[in-house]
């Protein structure tokens, strides 16, 4: 599977290079949007950024609401400055936007959520497009109803990228304009990453079961899968596997503290435990009640291992794990 993914990856790169050399701005916009929503854009960040730079330099070329909104969305999402004034020409005297086209309204709605304070044209765009999209729902076919409802519930840039990839692959597969090479690569890449995530979760489960076997954690919620999923929302790329594992362990400790302080320990026990954590004092364990001793030692040892690993990686943030605890 990895060998085939490598082949498809290069084929998609060739597609990007062809589009990069094109003068068709619409084709560039649609390609970047597809790569990002289908979950493979992280492989081509340098190429995509070059296209976005060119796109940022183009002025006055896009003359329809759909492509204006998509261009605005992509540039704002990637940190480029683009004025919301580009939407003014699509408003009538009453402040309404001159479009009842579904794809244009969806693009406008998504773009408008990248507004900053004071951009009234985008505030109005959200109200207008939301109202129009809601009124269209009962007249659309089921697939389009699902897309509109999903967008109204969560605009694109607020979605968890891996979840959006899982949702969008079958949507893209039904498009008449789909590119089979991009589609096949997206499926392969998604499955490869899912395998990696399962391996991470297996390692984390072994670690967590080890802590539970040594400590009395009857007060604690088992949130391992949930916490790992949270970390996927922060960094999903394969090169950040250790980061996800490390962060999941640290956030699991935060969850443990929450359950310990809220539901189980006495005020005196909580104060002793907190003071020991603040001093990072291994000897303080002797002052703890039995149920806290093993927990504290496990937290102490796990955090020290993370700290040493970060030092071996020459990570500038080594030491912060202890400070965070």
pTM attached to this predicted model: 0.88
The answer to whether residue 236 scores a pLDDT higher than 80 is yes
Residue carrying structure tokens 């149920």: 291
- 181-192 tens-digit pLDDT: 999 999 999 999
Question: Which of 178, 208, 233 corresponds to the end of one domain?
Answer: 178
Show the domain range for 80: 2-178
Burial classification of residue 88, based on how many CB atoms lie within 10 Å of its CB (0-12 exposed, 13-18 middle, 19 or more buried): exposed
pLDDT band, residue 318 (cuts 50/70/90) = low
Question: Which of 154, 178, 202 corresponds to the end of one domain?
Answer: 178
Same domain, yes or no, for 54 and 153?
yes
- Give me the CATH number covering residue 260: 1.10.600.10
Same domain, yes or no, for 60 and 153?
yes
Is residue 232, in this structure, part of any structural domain at all? yes
Same domain, yes or no, for 33 and 152?
yes
Same domain, yes or no, for 67 and 212?
no
The answer to whether residue 59 scores a pLDDT higher than 90 is no
Same domain, yes or no, for 140 and 195?
no
Query: 49-72 in b/e burial notation, b at 16+ Cβ within 10 A?
Result: eebbeebeeeeeebeebbbbbbbb
| pLDDT at site 309 | 84
Is residue 184, in this structure, part of any structural domain at all? no
- Give me the CATH number covering residue 61: 1.50.10.130
Reported as half-sphere exposure (CB side, CA atoms, 13 A), residue 302 has a value of 21
Same domain, yes or no, for 26 and 153?
yes
Average pLDDT, the chain: 90
Question: Which of 136, 157, 178 corresponds to the end of one domain?
Answer: 178
Q: Which of 253, 263, 257, 239 is nearest to 303 (CA)?
A: 253
Same domain, yes or no, for 6 and 137?
yes
| pLDDT at site 44 | 97
Averaged pLDDT, 118-141: 93
Is residue 56, in this structure, part of any structural domain at all? yes
pLDDT band, residue 322 (cuts 50/70/90) = low
Same domain, yes or no, for 71 and 128?
yes
Is residue 297, in this structure, part of any structural domain at all? yes
Same domain, yes or no, for 245 and 267?
yes
- 93-117 tens-digit pLDDT: 777 887 778 999 999 999 999 999 9
Is residue 247, in this structure, part of any structural domain at all? yes
Is residue 183, in this structure, part of any structural domain at all? no
Three-state SS letters, the chain: CHHHHHHHHHHHHHHHHHHHCCCCHHHHHHHHHHHHHCCCHHHHHHHHHHHHHHHHHCCCCCCCHHHHHHHHHHHHHCCCCCCHHHHHHHECCCCCECCCCHHHHHHHHHHHCCCCCCCHHHHHHHHHHHHHHHHHHHHCCHHHHHHHHHHHHCCHHHCCHHHHHHHHHHHHHCCCCCCHHHHHHHHHHHHHHHHHHHHHHHHHHHHHHHHHHHCCCCCCCCCHHHHHHHHHHHCCCHHHHHHHHHHHHHHHHHHHHHHHHHHCCCHHHHHHHHHHHHHCCHHHHHHCCHHHHHHHHHHHHHHHHHHHHHHHCCCCCCCHHHHHC
Is residue 311, in this structure, part of any structural domain at all? yes
Q: Which of 155, 153, 169 is nearest to 39 (CA)?
A: 169
Give the C-alpha distances (Å, rounded to integers) separating 116 from 88, 97, 103, 122: 16, 19, 23, 9
Q: Which of 185, 165, 139 is nearest to 15 (CA)?
A: 185
Same domain, yes or no, for 50 and 134?
yes
| pLDDT at site 297 | 86
- 267-302 tens-digit pLDDT: 888 888 888 888 887 777 787 888 788 888 888 888
Same domain, yes or no, for 48 and 129?
yes
Q: What percent of the chain has pLDDT over 70?
A: 95
- Number of domains the chain contains: 2
Is residue 86, in this structure, part of any structural domain at all? yes
Same domain, yes or no, for 317 and 240?
yes
């Amino acid at each position: 599977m990895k060998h085939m993914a490598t082949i498809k990856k290069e084929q998609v790169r060739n597609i990007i290079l062809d589009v990069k050399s094109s003068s068709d701005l619409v084709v560039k916009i649609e390609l970047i949007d597809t790569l990002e929503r289908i979950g493979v854009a992280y492989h081509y960040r340098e190429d995509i950024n070059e296209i976005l730079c060119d796109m940022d330099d183009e002025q006055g070329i896009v003359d329809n609401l759909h492509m204006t909104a998509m261009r605005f969305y992509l540039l704002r999402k990637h940190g480029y400055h683009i004025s919301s004034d580009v939407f003014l020409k699509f408003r009538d005297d009453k402040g309404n936007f001159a479009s009842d086209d579904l794809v244009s309204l969806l693009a406008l709605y998504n773009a408008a959520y990248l507004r900053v304070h004071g951009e009234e044209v985008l505030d109005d765009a959200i109200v207008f497009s939301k109202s129009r999209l809601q009124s269209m729902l009962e007249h659309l076919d089921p697939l389009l109803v699902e897309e509109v409802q999903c967008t109204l519930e969560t605009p694109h840039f607020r979605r968890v990228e891996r979840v959006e990839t899982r949702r969008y692959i079958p949507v893209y597969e039904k498009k008449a304009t789909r590119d089979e090479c991009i589609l096949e690569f997206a499926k392969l890449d998604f499955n490869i990453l899912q395998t990696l995530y399962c391996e991470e979760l297996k390692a984390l489960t072994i670690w967590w079961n080890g802590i539970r076997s040594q400590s009395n954690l009857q007060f604690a919620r088992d949130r391992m899968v949930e916490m790992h999923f949270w970390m996927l929302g922060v960094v999903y790329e394969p090169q950040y596997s250790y980061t996800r594992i490390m962060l999941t362990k640290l956030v699991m400790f935060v969850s443990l503290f929450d359950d310990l302080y809220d539901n189980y320990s006495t005020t005196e026990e909580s104060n002793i435990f907190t003071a020991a954590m603040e001093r990072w004092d291994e000897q303080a364990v002797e002052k703890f009640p039995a149920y806290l001793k093993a927990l504290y030692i496990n937290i102490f040892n796990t955090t020290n291992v993370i700290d040493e690993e970060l030092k071996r990686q020459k990570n500038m943030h080594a030491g912060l794990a202890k400070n965070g605890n």
